[in-house]
Chain A
Amino acid sequence: MRLRVDPVACAGHGLCADLLPEGITLDEWGYPLLDPLLDPLLDAEIPADLLPHARAAVAACPALALRLDPTGPDDRRHGRNRRSR
């Protein structure tokens, strides 16, 4: 499972950072910054012990901008992201 933020949908409510402080911090405008450990662009799986908190953060997002993505690291879109970095 990987966390993904839809940057267009995100309205900076910031509930996710309260519910998953281990993985999400807010920038100065209140928009989420994913910890490198959870950043899907870095191909990071969410640690099992954080998964319930990640689910709570996803369920809490008022803008439906936070998602859990079950696709694996060999996913095509994922590979493209990795290459583009």
Chain B
Amino acid sequence: MWTWYASRAAGLVSLVLLSGSVLLGIGGVTRAASARWPRFAVQRLHRNLSMLAVAFVALHVLTAVLDGYVPISWLDVLLPFTSAYEPWWLGLGTVALDLLLAVLVTTSLLRVRLGLRAWRAVHRAAYACWPVAVLHGIGLGGVDTTTWWVLTLTLACVAAVGVGLVRRTAVGTRP
């Protein structure tokens, strides 16, 4: 039973970490910096926070499958919309995970090999990953979704990233 709570908790922590990661990534593109927060600090925090988010997403997925209270197979982890349990909402989580893995592999392992153009093309999947992951959380959260603090947390993350995206559109595609 603890795995169920662990999965829920890890999912919420992932929401916060992924939102922070997206915001810091946008901060890199918009060249956000101050005397106390030089650009390399923003970038390094973006990278470290992303790695932490990947760890919590992994925990979230592992505990969800191992818990066994609802039937989620290992195939459902990577193959979207095929699960017996909530195929649509769980499938969104699977899509988000696939996108996250694509971003993880290209960013941390293949960035130098791919070159900037291809790297950026794949890294943009993060902008699709985040909203899909949020929808997955809202749709699958059940009673938890409407708990006041979960709702507040979700709305705060959406608002923060929304503001970030507005600022992001103000700058072009120059690296």
Query: A residues touching B (Cβ–Cβ < 8 Å)?
Result: 9, 11, 13-15, 18-19, 56, 60, 62-64
Contact = CB atoms under 8 A, between A and B. Distances in A.
On chain B, which size bracket covers the interface? 10 to 19
Contact of A60 (B43, B115, B116, B174): B43
A18 B115 contact: no
Given A13-B31, A60-B43, 18 more contacts: A11-B175, A13-B175, A15-B38, A15-B39, A15-B40, A15-B43, A18-B38, A18-B40, A19-B40, A60-B44, A62-B28, A62-B43, A62-B175, A63-B175, A64-B112, A64-B115, A64-B116, A64-B119
B111 interface: yes
Chain A at the B interface: mostly helix, strand, loop or mixed?
loop
What are the 9 A-B residue pairs with the smallest beta carbon separation, nearest first?
Answer: A15-B40, A63-B175, A11-B175, A18-B40, A18-B38, A64-B116, A15-B39, A60-B40, A19-B40
Interface residues of B, dominant DSSP: helix
A63 B115 CA distance: 9
B112 to A, nearest CB: 7
Contacts of A63: 116, 175
B116 A14 contact: no
Nearest to A58: B112
